[in-house]
Amino acid sequence: MPEIWVLLALSAVVLYGISQVIGKLAIDSLAAPTMVAVNFLVSMPVYLLFFLCFLLSLGSFQIGSEYIIFGLVAALLGRAGYYTYLEALERGPVMIVGSITAAYPAIITILAITLLGESLTAIQGVGVVIIIISMIGLSFSHGSSKGGTSFTRLSLILSIATLILWGVWGIFVKLALRELPIMFYLGLYSLVLPPLFFTYFRYKRIPFKQVLPKWSLPVIIAVIAVLIGQLALLADTAAVSLGEAAVVFPLIASYPVVMILLAFAFLKERLSRRDVSLVFTVIIGIILISTT
């Protein structure tokens, strides 16, 4: 039977994929800033609840301040990477932006082995390489059907920034979770999100009231997507706390496979033979990684 971290990681893969497909139903009707606003308004109460629950039981924990700093940095890097990813997508095709950012598990794997002293079995190493290469291939293959737009220099810079932010984020998550309870780490997002969120809208020069979501079917769908995404983040974080970052992150990064398959089944999107081949190779990589 697979170890618990493998099951948690696979749960995150499925939940992230479902969340992305449901989000697709809303994205055509809602602008990106509105989606960001929905995400903030729905996720903040969840993070605040986690943070308050930890404070109520604070007496039973003794945590070094450096681990709290690691957690705050991880939360900042992860959400900042999400914003730079959206900005890159606004300026360039998903085919290229997705390809660049899809390689972030490679950075995490390299840093986890060199800085954290983690190790992989030969079979797991092959699985990691297969998944990373296949996910980059899927970004090109699946993104090519979206239609072409020019790829600007700024989009390239933002894509590389996202790659770096998410790559370093994974290491700080692992460092923080060496001591921090999972709920407390997630609760730290409640401290990071407000300043980052309002800085984003200040940068965009959009008054928050202009993107404040009005109750409608697309907004309801977006809320459901965010809630499922939060469950995925919980499973994701638990998997990272128990498993090796060098293995867990490439495994979780395969969630677009679920998204593509569900989009093919329910949104009637086309799935080419190349897509099918790449999805199959990702599944092989997942099986190899799960071999412990």
Q: What is the pLDDT of residues 186-237, one digit of tens each?
A: 999 999 999 999 888 888 888 877 777 788 888 898 899 889 989 998 999 9
CB 109, CB 250: distance < 8 Å:
yes
pLDDT at 161: 92
pLDDT at 45: 93
pLDDT at 28: 65
pLDDT at 148: 47
Q: What is the pTM of this model?
A: 0.81
- Given a cut of 50, the residues of the chain with pLDDT beneath it are 146-148
pLDDT at 209: 74
pLDDT at 33: 80
pLDDT at 144: 55
